[in-house]
Amino acid sequence: MRARMRFRTFVLLTLVAGMLIPGTGKAITDEALFRNFRFNFVNPGGRTLGLAGAFIAAADDATAAQANPAALHYISGSEFFIEFRSLQTDTQISSSSAGSLVHPNQPGDLPFLSLTEVVNPDDISNVSFLSYAQPFKLGAKQRRLTLAFSRQILLQQKLSLTENDAATEARIASDVFPVIPNEDNTGLVRYSIPLAVNGDSDTEIVYWNAGASLQVHRDFSVGLTLSLATLDIQADSLGAFTDPQFQILDPTNPRLPGSEDTDFFRSVINDTDSDLVYTIGLHWHPDSVFATGISPWQFGAVMRKGAEFSFAQERFKNGVLNATAPVSLNVPDRYGVGASYKPGDNWVFTMDYERIEYSDLLEGFEVGVNPLTDEDVTDVILGSTFARDPQYDVEDADVFRIGAERIFGLRNGVFTVRAGYFRAPDNKIAMTSFSEDPTENSVYLDAFSGGEDENHFTGGATYGFGHHTIDIGADFFSGGKQLVVSYIFRRF
């Protein structure tokens, strides 16, 4: 008895200590490729997706290792799980234009900055989750210990900054620029410098998981999943200012007037990294309170520590290696609670609340790597009268997920239909301050703005027969859609 009590105390103290360990690390840069990561924070499984990811309390299969490892205790026999996921995301094109190139009698509405930003993601299809789980009985009271091993793709993102005729590009001018005739010689305009940006990235984050749940009481279980998180990232971004006539950016560079000479800003990443992270879960199912021995209510809580990756970035100016700098990518920490209610044999209702700390992306966020915020560029273009200190922000998010499913008993199995909803918050990193000059500040804040929230409507179905279960889940949102098909084989 004392040995079991010491073991339970050790488990609980370990969980509490894990929650108190602070995270450290740097973060990404202000380049267009890195301001808009779309993490797949809906837990794996077709059933999970159909319920809009509201699975912290309702989890009952091997995906609980990610949704809530304490719920692994529901696995009563060996279980094999595989998932196929297809994600189609639309190209996002945002444009801004502030100021004017028309030469005024009294300059006042300059500087001018127009920016078109293209984020063109590839469609992704892969086997995104694969797992095996096995339960065991411990001691005289036959408390259940369940172990689960899995591989999950948390993020697979391929982006480019162009799409057909659309490209990421900017044009910039200020009142220190010369005045030149317009194209038809009918008036005067401010000379401006175009910036063309080409780039692409390929990022994959994979979690290799070992999870365990322990039934410490008939009504209560705890769980822990340890994950070896691996990152593989390749990125290449090239920004080119074309300034053939006045050589404003680099007047000491000898160029022929009218030539197509440019100033190049390039960054290259080709690196890998890994980190050890954890997920802690609690699950309460008050069966002993009810005369039937089965509670219609289930409750869960979970804490997920995000990985912190570090990799090297080579930076070039005009073809010359300027620096090799360490850069980091922090996967946001997440905290959640959930409840599920099964009023009878035919209905299940689920709800989750999750706090996502997107501000983790800003720990050590590096500014000035983007050509438009580079200190040398802004000082030359805008002058150095006013102090400039670009500041960025992204808000932590509160996500509510709700889902419901209807169960139909069949002669040879079970058929279930379900639906759900959640609102995905904007997690695009946006500029909040640039310059002491209000005109410059407003121009840049308009160009480096945030994104928009997305409504997600989900649905799905399950067909279970014998040892086999097939789940299908679909997610429809304004920026695209995804489909998940999962298969479970259970040996009771």
Overall average pLDDT of the 348-357 stretch:
96
Beta bridge partners of 276: 228
| 357 — pLDDT class (breaks 50, 70, 90) | very high
pLDDT digit string, tens, across residues 23-81 = 333 457 888 777 777 776 788 899 999 999 999 999 988 888 889 999 998 888 899 99
Q: Which residue has the higher pLDDT, 460 or 171?
A: 460
pTM as predicted: 0.85
How many residues comprise the chain?
492
| 364 — pLDDT class (breaks 50, 70, 90) | confident
Does position 374 have pLDDT exceeding 50, yes or no?
Answer: yes
Out of 240-249, 277-286, 306-315, 416-425, least confident range: 240-249
Does position 381 have pLDDT exceeding 80, yes or no?
Answer: no
Overall average pLDDT of the 288-294 stretch:
86
In the chain, the domains with their CATH numbers are 2-79+86-468 (2.40.160)
Overall average pLDDT of the 271-300 stretch:
93
Q: Which residue has the higher pLDDT, 381 or 109?
A: 381
Q: What average pLDDT does the chain have? A: 85
Rounded to the nearest 5 percent, the helix, strand and coil shares of the chain are 15, 55, 30
Overall average pLDDT of the 226-242 stretch:
92
> Would you list the DSSP string of 91-157?
-EEEEEEES--B--SS--S--EEEEEEEEEEPPEEEEEEEEEEEEEEETTTTEEEEEEEEEEEEEEE
Does position 17 have pLDDT exceeding 70, yes or no?
Answer: no
Does position 157 have pLDDT exceeding 70, yes or no?
Answer: yes
Residue 251 burial by CB count (10 A; 0-12/13-18/19+): exposed, middle or buried? exposed
Residue 196 is encoded by which pair of tokens? Answer: 């063309």
Does position 4 have pLDDT exceeding 80, yes or no?
Answer: no
pLDDT digit string, tens, across residues 209-230 = 999 999 998 899 999 999 999 9
Q: Which residue has the higher pLDDT, 105 or 169?
A: 169
Determine if the peptide bond prior to 425 is cis (ω within 30°). no
